[in-house]
A and B are shown apart, each in its own frame.
Chain A
Amino acid sequence: MNDLLEHKPQRTEQQRLLAVIWNDDLSGNLHGFSVQGINIYRRNLLANAQRALGITFPTVFKLLDSDVSADLVKQFLQASPPDQGDWGQWGDKFADFMATTDISDDYPFLADCSALDWHVHCALHGADQTLDQSSLQILGNCEPEQVVIIFNQNVKLLSSRYPVVDIFDGHHHDDKQRRQVALNNANQALSSALVDHHIMIYRPEFQPRVIKLTSSEGQFTQSLISGNSLAESLDLVSNDAEFSFQHWLLNAIEHNLIHYFKESYS
């Protein structure tokens, strides 16, 4: 109890400064701190937050005008203050936040673009995982009912009805011509009937990539990621004559989608 009492004055003074910088005190009382000094901290905070979100959500911030994005950053700071001590890990709630903003009424694809940016950012810094080659023998030794696939942790599936892969490629593809084609495709898709589809984020080496999956690829991959067996997952796409597990597997190995194969005893 004595210890708590002894610490109380510091808590008050630090809380006071935090509250003033974060504009948490609606009275506008600066509690004795200089206006100039507080304004520097407020500008630094906003600049750091803008820089961080601009890096983490490059597609979204290229789509937005700077005055709009500055206002969104301010709102997001209040809605979801950083709590990790690393600006690079701030933004896991940004896609949900975007879905609630006025600008999403006019541009409803922004929330899905944010989700895609976030997962690409996470994959960029995710663990370096490759296929455990020795686990391949499970494919030959076990029945499909007993085979479970553990994916590389940098593989993520999203679903969207918007052409977010084309929007992403339209801003980030290495080739200028491909960027233009992707933007044209995105515009065309946005003016047509929108269809739900799966998007996959994966990391073959260090640079994450995004790809739109066919309906069967999406269903099959989602089922495996959810922990279903190979047999259960294959059943989901048995009506698709175009789907080939052999082709999927070669592609998955080539693109570093699989961490290892596991025998399931359930």
Chain B
Amino acid sequence: MSVKNLLHSSKHSSKHSSKHSSKHSEDILVGVGLRHPHFTDILTSAKEIDFVEVHSENFFGQGGAALSVLQQVRETYPVSLHSTSMGLGSFADIPAHYLARLKRLTQTIDPFLMSEHACFTWGHLQGQLMHSGDLLPIAHTHNNLKRMCEQVDRVQTYLGRELIIENVSAYVQFDESYLSEAEFLTALCQQTGAKILLDINNIAVNSLNFEGGDIEKSVVDYINVLPIDSVAQIHLAGCSDVPHGQLVVDDHACPVSDDVWQGYRQALTRFGAVPTLVEWDSDLPAWSTLIGEAQKARDIANAVLGVNARASVMEINHE
């Protein structure tokens, strides 16, 4: 049973929703993933981004310096809580202790967005519940869709918040899958009221690993399945090159690639001024470099969503 009608909209969510539907370039919200080495930078630099996103689990402690920094950051920036361990697609239930910590953090930070991945993380080995330590892919079947809807409903009800669910990069595939990930996410959102976090780089990684590597085609095919009002956030990231024949790993260790920027243009054209985040997790660059990537996203959004925005939307929808 859907909980979408039970969910309250926070102050930030309401603001975001009205901006989202306006599709004007000046309304785009651009942020960066905030990691520990940049704590001092964000607290001492001029405000050049609209929001930050943090990994929820990094702030699960009851107190301490990291949480204090996040609370200081929250005074200036809206914060998006991006979880990586919930494992909404897990057959095993998400442990209550995990959800309790997430709820406590949610109440402390009052995020304007809350997101997770369409993956599984919890399972049993030798009879014991364990966490996989990674975002593991799920088979895209109706049974798994039903299971994930149950988990999303449970979490949304418990937190009293709408979730945004991210497509994932994968390194193995299941023979059992018969839905595309885009079809799976679309159905998930329709049945739960959740929204989609569209990670362009994850589409690119899966394209290179499993679909022949025509990234532009993979992105267009993917986004054309998603309803126009279903995408609540976009993620951009880069990953390291690998030798020919090797699987690409989504390591978030590089600047956003040209292919992903092109995919971003296509996504903006279809979905409008969706809040956009640049992620960088390994080999972190200087803060100014990261901000430069965010500025590039803003420039592209301004270019795509300018005076020709409406014409472009029509064009891509007819492809």
Residues of A at under 8 Å CB distance from B? 6-7, 9-11, 13-15, 17-19, 21-22, 24, 32-34, 36-38, 40-41, 44-45, 48-49, 81-89, 124-129, 206-207
Provide the residues of chain A in CB contact with B174, threshold 8 Å: 13
Complex Cα–Cα for A88 and B67 (A): 14
Of listed B139, B172, B249, residue having the most chain A CB within 10 A: B172
Among listed B125-133, B152-160, B190-198, B290-298, interface-contacting one: B125-133
Against A, the Cβ 8 Å flags (1 = close, 0 = not) of B126-169 are: 10111111101011010110110000000000000000000000
For A126, give its contact among B63, B94, B97, B138 (CB under 8 Å). B63
Complex Cα–Cα for A128 and B61 (A): 10
Q: Which B91-128 residues sit within 8 Å CB-CB of chain A?
A: 91, 94-95, 97-98, 101, 120-126, 128
Contact B57 A88 (CB under 8 A): yes
Complex Cα–Cα for A82 and B128 (A): 11
Residues of B at under 8 Å CB distance from A? 57-58, 60-68, 85-87, 90-91, 94-95, 97-98, 101, 120-126, 128-134, 136, 138-139, 141, 143-144, 146-147, 170-172, 174-176, 246-247, 249
Chosen A-B contacts, 22 in total, with CB atoms closer than 8 Å, are: A7-B91, A9-B141, A10-B91, A10-B139, A13-B174, A14-B91, A14-B123, A14-B138, A15-B124, A18-B123, A18-B125, A21-B134, A24-B125, A40-B171, A40-B249, A41-B134, A49-B133, A81-B128, A82-B133, A83-B129, A206-B68, A207-B65
Contact B57 A87 (CB under 8 A): yes
Contact B126 A24 (CB under 8 A): yes
Provide the residues of chain A in CB contact with B131, threshold 8 Å: 81-85
Provide the residues of chain A in CB contact with B68, threshold 8 Å: 128, 206
Look across to chain B and name the residue whose beta carbon is closest to the beta carbon of A20.
B172
For A6, give its contact among B97, B122, B143, B247 (CB under 8 Å). B143
Contact A36 B133 (CB under 8 A): no
Given contacts A6-B143, A9-B176, A11-B91, 13 further A-B contacts (CB under 8 A): A10-B91, A15-B124, A19-B125, A21-B132, A37-B247, A82-B130, A82-B133, A83-B131, A85-B98, A86-B60, A124-B65, A125-B67, A128-B68
Provide the residues of chain B in CB contact with A124, threshold 8 Å: 61, 64-65
Assuming the contacts A14-B138, A34-B172, asked whether A83 and B121 have C-beta atoms less than 8 A apart, the reply is no
Contact A18 B132 (CB under 8 A): yes
Contact A32 B175 (CB under 8 A): yes
Provide the residues of chain B in CB contact with A44, threshold 8 Å: 133-134, 249
Contact A14 B143 (CB under 8 A): no
Give the shortest distance, in Å, between B251 (CB) and chain A (any CB): 9
Look across to chain B and name the residue whose beta carbon is closest to the beta carbon of A125.
B61
For A206, give its contact among B62, B64, B136 (CB under 8 Å). B64
Assuming the contacts A6-B143, A9-B143, A14-B120, asked whether A87 and B133 have C-beta atoms less than 8 A apart, the reply is yes
Give the shortest distance, in Å, between B109 (CB) and chain A (any CB): 15
Of listed B64, B97, B133, B246, residue having the most chain A CB within 10 A: B133
Complex Cα–Cα for A45 and B172 (A): 15
Look across to chain A and name the residue whose beta carbon is closest to the beta carbon of B65.
A206
For B143, give its contact among A10, A24, A83, A129 (CB under 8 Å). A10
Give the shortest distance, in Å, between A35 (CB) and chain B (any CB): 10
Look across to chain A and name the residue whose beta carbon is closest to the beta carbon of B143.
A10
Give the shortest distance, in Å, between B209 (CB) and chain A (any CB): 8
Contact B171 A41 (CB under 8 A): yes
Give the 8 A-B CB pairs with smallest separation, nearest first. A125-B61, A85-B85, A37-B171, A128-B63, A37-B172, A127-B62, A206-B65, A81-B130
